Chains A and B, each alone.
Chain A
Amino acid sequence: MAARTPSVTRRARRPARPRGRRAAAKAATRERITAAALHLFASKGFDATTTRAIAVRARVAEGTVFNYFATKEDIALHFFEQEVDSAIAAVRRNARLRKAPLEEKLFALIQSQIEYLTPYENFIGAAFVQALRPSSTLAFSLRAFALRARYLAFVQELIQESLPRHGANAMAWAAPQAFWIYYLGMLLYWLHDQSPGKQNTLAFLDRSLALGVRMLRKGTLG
C-alpha cells in the first residue's frame, strides 16, 4: 500500500507522526495501564487499589489513566474483552477444529480462556467477588452485557455449525445461557483446583462438556 504523503505545510506546523504509530503508542499505554492495574488488583485486592497507584506503576500521570478508563472496573472489563477476543480468535484460527466434535471446540474455547487468565489467577478471584455486588459495572453494565452477548453468540455459532438440526429442542434454545452459568462454575472450580497443573480442571471440563453435548444432542437431561 502506498503511504500518504503529508503536505509540506502540515509537516511544518506539526512534527511528523504517522497515524499508525500514534495509535500503537496509545494502545501500548492502554496495555501498560491495564497490566499495572491487574498486578495491583492481584497483589493488593480490587478495593485497596487506587488509580493513583495504578498511574505510578504504569509510569503515567493520574489524569492519563482517566483519559483511557473512566473507572477501575473499566480496566477490568477491558481485560476480559481482550481475553474473550483472543480465545475466539484462537478457535477460529485453528483449521483442524472446524471438523472437530462440538465438545472439543468448546473445550478449546474455554482452555484458551484459561490459558489467558492463568497469569492473573489472584485477580480473577477478586473480580468474582467484585462482580457479585449489585452495583458492579463489571457484571451489570451495558458494556458487560455486550461482552457476554458477543461471547455467547460465538458459542451459539459453534453449536449451530456442529448440530445443525438441533433447533427444535428446548435444550438447544437455552444452551448458550446454560453455557454461561456452566462457564462461571467452571471458573470457580479452576480457582479452587489444587491439583498439579490444574489437571482436575481439564478432566472436569472434558467430562462435563461430553455430558452436556450429549444432553444437547438428545434434547433431554437424561
Chain B
Amino acid sequence: MTRRDGPVRRALRMAAMGAGVTGSYLGYMAQSAFLSGDQRAVRLKRAHTRAARRMSDELQALRGPAMKLGQALSLQHGVLPDEMLAELATLQMRAPGMHPALVRAQFTGSMGREPEQVFRSFETTPFAAASLGQVHRATLKNGEPAAVKIQYPGIRDAIKNDFTWFRAISKPAQLSRHLPPDVMDELEAQILAECDYEREAKNIAFFRKGLAPLPFVELPVAHRAYSTDRVLTMSMVRGAHLDDFLARRPSQALRDRVGERLFELFYFQILELHALHADPHWGNYLFGSDGTIGLVDFGCVKYFQAPFVANMRKVFLYAGSRESAHFRQILEERYATSGTRLSRAAVRALARISVEFYGRVYPADPATDGIPFDFADDAVIRDYLRESTRVGRARATLPEYVFLGRAESGLYQTLHRLRARVHTSAIVRKYLR
C-alpha cells in the first residue's frame, strides 16, 4: 500500500517543499552577485539539483495528483533544467490505491447503484492502474467482458490545490520565463480534463470514428450507459504491453511493421485528425502478435487549431535551408498566433533542432524515401532530448508543444525500444499531400 497523507499534512509538505525549493534559488541569487560567470553556472546547477531533489522527495511522499504534475513536468524537455528532469523522471505516476470498500463507495456514489446491480460480475481488485484511478474487470449483463475505470475521489480539487501551490513555488522559473504561465495553464487544463471521464468517453467516440481509415488500430467502445464523470466502462482491448510483446522476441519484420504503424498513427492524428492521443505512457499501447495496435486511455487528448496544423505542414520536410529567412518567417507566423515574439536565440534553437534532429531523422529529399530510419540508434533519443532542451532554454515553448512534445518523445522512445526501422519521410509525405 502506498503511503498517504491527510490534507493538512499534504499542505504542510507542499509548503515545506516550496520553502525548500525557493530557498535553493534564493541562496543562489544571493551568491550570484559576487560570483564570476563560470562559478555562477556551477552554483546554479547545484541550486537546480538541490531544488529538484527536494521536489522529487516531496512529490514522492505526496503521491497522487502531485505525482501526475511531476510526471507531466518531467516530460517537458527544456522547460525545466536537466538536473530537475533527471530527478522528476524517477517518479512513477500513480494515484493512491483504492481498497474495495472505497471503490464500492465511489462507484455507488457516482452511479447511484452498487457494482453488482449494474454488472453481472465485478472484480473488486483492480487489474491495472489508470491515470488518477484504477481499472477493474467486469462482465456486462449481456455477458460481454468490460474494463471499468474508477477515479480516486476528490482528485479534481486535489489537482487544483497542487497547481495553486506549484504556481507559488515555481515563481523563479516563471519569472525567468523558463516555465511560462501559459504553459502552466495548458498543463493544468489538460490534467483537469483527464479527470472528466464523460469527456474521455466523447474522445473515444471521436477517435473511433477518426481512426477508422487505419484498420490496424483497435480502440475500446465506451459504454455510456454504465459511465459517469468518475466511472468509465469500456470494452476490453486485446494485445500485450510493450514489455510482454518484446519478451516474446518478435521478428525484426514484425517490429518494423509495428514501428511503421505507430509512426503513421502519430502523423495521421496530427495532420488528418488535428487531435492527438497525448499520453505516451507505455501501458496505454497494446501490441497484437499480428501487428495490431490497441490504444487505451483517452483522458489526455490534445486538439489542435487548424492554423497551427497548417503551419506544421509548411515546416515538415521543409525542402529549403532551415536557416533561411523564409523558414524563419514560417516559424514567426506560428509563434505570432500566441502573441509570442521570437528572440534571436529562440530562432537559432528552432533552426538547430530542424537541422540537427529533424533534418537527419526526416530527410527532406524524396529520393531517400525508400531508406528507412533505424530507431535502434541510441543517438536518436539523446539528440532529441538535447535539441528540445535547447528550444525550452531559449524560451521558445508554446502551449501546443506541452503535450505534442510529450507524445513525440514517447513515440521515439517506443520506436527505440522496438528497435524499429521506419520510412519516416515517406509516411509524413503521404499525409502532407
Contacts and interface: CB of A to CB of B under 8 A. Distances in A.
Nearest 9 interchain pairs by C-beta:
A203-B154, A199-B153, A202-B153, A197-B109, A200-B154, A108-B101, A104-B99, A203-B153, A210-B4
A207 B7 contact: yes
Interface in A179-222: 195-200, 202-204, 206-208, 210-211
Given A206-B4, A207-B6, A199 B101 contact: no
B347 interface: no
Interface in A103-132: 103-104, 107-108, 111
B375 interface: no
Interface of B: 1, 4-7, 9-10, 96, 98-102, 105-106, 109-110, 124, 152-155, 157-158, 229-230
Given A198-B109, A208-B6, A211-B4, A107 B99 contact: yes
A1 interface: no
A206 B102 contact: yes
Interface of A: 96-97, 100-101, 103-104, 107-108, 111, 195-200, 202-204, 206-208, 210-211
A203 B152 contact: yes
Contacts of A210: 1, 4
Contacts of A207: 4-7, 10, 96
30 contacts: A100-B100, A100-B101, A101-B1, A104-B99, A104-B100, A107-B101, A107-B102, A195-B154, A195-B157, A196-B229, A197-B109, A197-B110, A199-B230, A200-B153, A202-B102, A202-B106, A202-B109, A203-B152, A203-B154, A203-B158, A204-B6, A204-B7, A206-B4, A206-B96, A206-B98, A206-B153, A207-B5, A207-B7, A210-B1, A211-B5
B153 to A, nearest CB: 4
A211 B9 CA distance: 10
Chain A: interface secondary structure? Answer: helix
Contacts of A104: 99-102
B106 A199 contact: yes
Given A199-B109, A204-B6, A206-B153, 12 more contacts: A100-B101, A104-B99, A104-B102, A197-B230, A199-B230, A202-B153, A203-B155, A204-B154, A206-B99, A207-B4, A207-B5, A207-B10
Nearest to A107: B101
Nearest to A105: B101
A107 B6 CA distance: 14
A97 B96 CA distance: 20
Contacts of B158: 203
Contacts of A198: 109
Contacts of B101: 97, 100, 104, 107-108, 111
Contacts of A100: 99-101
A89 to B, nearest CB: 16
B419 to A, nearest CB: 43
Nearest to B152: A203
A99 to B, nearest CB: 11
